[in-house]
Chain A
Amino acid sequence: MKVRVLIFGPLARVCGAREVVLELPEGATASAVSCALSSRFGESAGFSWAGARLAVNGAFAGDAHALRDGDEVAVIEMVGGG
């Protein structure tokens, strides 16, 4: 299955990417996204992907959240409104 991952703000700048499409095995959970991003971007600028806060389709989701084909996953890290 494919999921679309959105990266924002300073983290997007560090990664050099704002959107990534990941091909994951059926039954994958949100933790697979963190692992895949860590493999792709490394521990950039001191940021650890393990335990990164993710939102799936607009709502926070834990590591065990089961993903579906076509899900939109947003990385909610380094936020700083105001």
Chain B
Amino acid sequence: MSVSVRIVDGALGAAGECEALRAGEGLDGAVVVFEGIVRGEEEGRTIRGLLYEAYEPMASRMLSELGEAMVLEHGVRAIEVEHSRGEVAVGACSFRLTVRSAHRAGALRAMDAFIDRMKRDVPIWKSAVWEGDG
């Protein structure tokens, strides 16, 4: 079992190379990656980006505990969480969740459940940065 959490300033870089994603010593039959991308509109208005705030270290600790819960509940082998803080421009990636598992079904369930609970409980906030904001 492995859970890693990384909160980084600004947009996330590119996802790992395919070889890295496949690294699992033959244990992973499924690697599911979700990327959250900043859309260009909020409440019908054009935005420049989103501003993320995280209450640390509580946010990182809860993301880690949530990952551990997914391992136990859905039998996945590994969870990797990356989340932005600070401003992220439209079109850039602000959240990436990678779930590794022997089988597809558990990985997909864990992916969905993780994101639902994160949005409900983890102390991370986002606010629109409107065009023209300082």
Binding site for B on A (CB under 8 A): 6, 8-10, 13, 55, 58-59, 74, 76, 78-82
Contacts and interface: CB of A to CB of B under 8 A. Distances in A.
Interface of B: 36, 52-55, 57-59, 61, 83, 94-95, 115, 118-127
Contacts of B54: 81
Given A80-B119, A82-B36, A9 B126 contact: yes
A16 to B, nearest CB: 14
B127 A10 contact: yes
B55 A74 contact: yes
A75 B126 CA distance: 15
Contacts, number: 57
Nearest to B50: A80
9 contacts: A55-B123, A58-B61, A74-B55, A74-B123, A79-B122, A79-B125, A82-B36, A82-B94, A82-B95
Contacts of B121: 76, 79
A82 B55 contact: no
Contact of B119 (A59, A74, A79): A79
A78 B122 CA distance: 10
A6 B120 CA distance: 19
B122 A81 contact: yes
A60 B124 CA distance: 14
Q: Would you list the 10 A-B pairs with minimal beta carbon distance, nearest first?
A: A9-B125, A81-B124, A58-B58, A82-B95, A8-B125, A82-B36, A8-B53, A76-B123, A81-B118, A74-B55
